[in-house]
Amino acid sequence: MKKCFMLMLVVTLFLFTGNTFAATKIKLGVVTKPGSAQNIVAEKFKELVEQRSNKKFEVKLYHSASLGNETEILQQVQMNTIQMAIVTGGPFDTFDPITRVVNYPFLFKDNAQADEILDGPLGNQILKSLESSGFKGLSFSENGFRNLTNSKRPVKSPDDIKGLKVRVMASAIHKAIWNALGANPTPMPWPIYTELEQKVIDGQENPLWVMEVYKFYEIQKYMSLTRHVYSYHIDVASLKWWETLDKSDQDMIQKAMYEAAVYQRADNRSKNADRLKLLKAKGMQVVENPDVAAFRAKVADLKDMDLYQDPKVKDLLLKIMEAVK
Ligand code: EAX
């Protein structure tokens, strides 16, 4: 009897400590706060991975710039100080120029087109390419179509943009877009509320959820539904870390991230109509149909810029343009 008890005790202890030591922590970074598009992906991913791995993996979320800005988050992923991140397409630009293809202005007409390209073989070329800079690209979730806001005047045509100081992400293509549109683009990492409030910058551009979650209606009177860039997030892991995982864990994680991304895209899109209502109710003046043809004309030559001359980058851009014609 005593022996049996001892044996049970040993087995219990073994299971307990075994379990404790087996839990692998995944540190996941996002720059934005709870309620943001990035956090919705991250939280869904955490739920799926912990459930499916029976807590063999535990996901710890670092949000609200607690790990620094998006460029700094990506550097930490490269070094494997954190294992995963959901980061806006813009700041990837300095790590791998192929990522700027999707930031090309007016590339996708609508959500369906974005999904078709990004979930298909062309999107996969971007994920694959990221390996050469130390990232395992898993999937694409979304920020959404970006719209211009500012505190100075309603913007209907490029003439109204002249001289506006517009904050842009740390991305050469975003800077080039706003230069071509006649603004005075100012690269600045997220968050930017204070700079808008203090009028260091006149405007910024982001999807509707940002204006709501970050309360930009308090400090930006005017919004134009320019939809100039479909802004994706790239959901990445550290390649160094990825290579330490066995195949079945890799598959489980990859699948969970893709499902989290698909979930979040649908969630984001389903809320846009209400967001627009809310922003108007909060007093924003919205130009719903700006002269998009005139904006397009201003940026039509960007594909011939140096930014797109790397053959790998140019090739993908032209292929996507052809596919969405
Ligand atoms: O998701 O920096 C940006 O403008 C991003 O869109 C921001 O992280 C909000």
The burial of 123, by beta-carbon neighbours within 10 Å (0-12 exposed, 13-18 middle, 19 or more buried), is given as buried
- Taking a C-beta distance cutoff of 8 angstroms, is the pair 199, 220 a contact? no
Q: Whose CA is nearest to atom 7 of ligand 1?
A: 190
223 lines ligand 1 (CB under 6 A): no
Q: In a mutational test of the pocket of ligand 1, which residue from 30, 32, 171 has the highest number of ligand atoms less than 8 Å from its CB?
A: 32
Q: How far is ligand 1, taken at its centre, from the CA of residue 267, in Å?
A: 18
Partners of residue 202 on adjacent β-strands: none
Give the bridge partners for 286, in sequence order: 223
As given in the structure block, the two tokens for residue 271 are 């809320």
Residue 193 Cα to ligand 1 midpoint, Å, equals 12
Closest Cα to atom 2 of ligand 1: 190
Give yes or no for residue 206 CB within 6 A of ligand 1.
yes
Any atom of ligand 1 within 6 Å of the Cβ of 226 = no
- Tokens 């014609």: give the residue: 325
| Tens-digit pLDDT string for the chain (325 aa) | 556 555 565 555 555 544 455 689 999 999 999 999 999 999 999 999 999 999 999 999 999 999 999 999 999 999 999 999 999 999 999 999 999 999 999 999 999 999 999 999 999 999 999 999 999 999 999 999 999 999 999 999 999 999 999 999 999 999 999 999 999 999 999 999 999 999 999 999 999 999 999 999 999 999 999 999 999 999 999 999 999 999 999 999 999 999 999 999 999 999 999 999 999 999 999 999 999 999 999 999 999 999 999 999 999 999 999 999 9
Q: What is the pLDDT of residue 316?
A: 98
Cα(29)–Cα(174) distance, integer angstroms: 23
How far is residue 283's CA from residue 52's CA, in Å, rounded to a whole number? 45
CA geometry: angle at 184 spanning 75 and 279, to 5°?
80
**3-class SS at 237?**
strand
d(CA 116, ligand 1 centre) in Å: 23
Q: Is the CB of 61 under 6 A from ligand 1?
A: no
86 lines ligand 1 (CB under 6 A): no
Q: Which pLDDT value is given to residue 209?
A: 98
Tell me, using a 6 A CB cutoff, whether residue 190 lines ligand 1.
yes
Instruction: Compute the distance from residue 233 Cα to the ligand 1 centre, in Å.
Output: 10
| CA–CA separation, 245 and 237 (whole Å) | 11
pLDDT of residue 9: 54
**CA 88 / ligand 1 centre spacing (Å):** 6
Burial 144-159 (b: 16+ CB within 10 A, else e): bbbbbbbbeeebeebe
The dihedral built from the CA positions of residue 238, 241, 246 and 248, taken in this order, carries a sign that is negative
Residues 178-195: b if buried by 16+ CB within 10 A, e if exposed: bbbbebebbebbbbbeeb
* Phi, psi torsion values for 38, nearest 5 degrees: -65, -40
CA of 216: how far to CAs of 39, 110, 149, 297, in Å? 19, 25, 9, 29
pLDDT at 18: 47
Asked if residue 55 lies in contact with residue 23, where contact means CB atoms within 8 angstroms, the answer is: yes
Evaluate: CB of 67 within 6 angstroms of ligand 1. no
Asked if residue 268 has its Cβ within 6 Å of ligand 1, the reply is no
- As a CATH number, domain 13-323 is 3.40.190.170
- By most ligand atoms within 8 Å of CB, the mutation choice from 210, 212, 232 for ligand 1 is 210
Q: How high is the pLDDT of residue 232?
A: 98
Measure Cα distances from 26 to 139, 190, 234, 276 in Å.
Answer: 17, 24, 17, 36
Q: Which of 74, 141, 206 to mutate to test the pocket of ligand 1 (most atoms within 8 A of CB)?
A: 206
- Match 């459930």 to its residue by tokens: 51
Contact in structure between 57 and 26 (CB atoms under 8 Å): yes
Pocket test for ligand 1, best of 39, 190, 216, 229 (most atoms within 8 A of CB): 190
Residue nearest to atom 5 of ligand 1 (CA): 88
Centre of ligand 1 to C-alpha 125, Å, is 24
Q: How many other C-beta atoms lie within 10 A of the C-beta of residue 25?
A: 10
In the block, tokens 């109710």 appear at: 281
Question: CB neighbours of 164 closer than 8 A, spacing ≥ 6?
Answer: 150, 152, 155, 183, 184, 202, 203
